[in-house]
Amino acid sequence: MRTKALVWLVIALIAGGGLADSPDESKMTGAELARSAVGLVQAEPPNLEMAQDRLKDALEKAAGLDVNALKLAQQALRAGVPQAVPPLVAKAVGDDPAQAVGGKPVEVNLGIGLYAAFAIGLLLVFLGAFALGRSADRHPRSPEGA
């Protein structure tokens, strides 16, 4: 029974990984690639190598972009100044560079559904522990060697 459950868990993990929705870089425009580089720079922890790759890919699809600003953003990453990348990318894609620097932090509203699901899950864990304790009381183990 245990191996059957383990097999189903592995199948579920493989299927979930295969169905995960990851962006296809070949279908992204130069502006999308450049903006994703900004996201990688601002991530916690930042992924500067992948951001550098995205900027390189954006330069390959530079139609409608300010190529000089993208090259400056690449140089800023190489020089170890990642905070210079967002305004340079904003300028390259035609956004307002001032908005890229001091933007308002993003608020995440989880909603009541998440809290209700958490409470139900917690209740189920406690009920399972209670049932396990009750079944242990009904079937006491005999002492070793008796």
pTM for this model (two decimals): 0.54
Measure the CA–CA gap between 52 and 137, rounded to whole angstroms. Answer: 61
Q: Which burial class, exposed, middle or buried, applies to 39 when counting CB atoms under 10 A from its CB (0-12, 13-18, 19+)?
A: middle
Q: Which helix (H) or strand (E) holds 100?
A: helix 97-101
pLDDT of residue 3: 67
pLDDT at position 66 over 80: yes
Q: Are 94 and 108 in contact (CB under 8 A)?
A: no
pLDDT at position 23 over 50: yes
Tokens of 45: 């922890």
pLDDT bin (cut points 50, 70, 90) of residue 30 is confident
Nearest Cα to 94, choosing from 112, 122, 70, 77? 70
* Domain extents in the chain: 23-101
Q: Are 90 and 99 in contact (CB under 8 A)?
A: yes
pLDDT bin (cut points 50, 70, 90) of residue 107 is low
Average pLDDT, the chain: 78
For the four alpha carbons of 103, 58, 46 and 14, in that order, the dihedral sign comes to positive
pLDDT bin (cut points 50, 70, 90) of residue 56 is very high
Nearest Cα to 65, choosing from 27, 98, 34, 96? 34
Cis peptide before 82 (omega within 30 of 0): no
Measure the CA–CA gap between 89 and 71, rounded to whole angstroms. Answer: 10
pLDDT of residue 19: 44
pLDDT at position 128 over 80: yes
pLDDT of residue 21: 44
DSSP 45: S
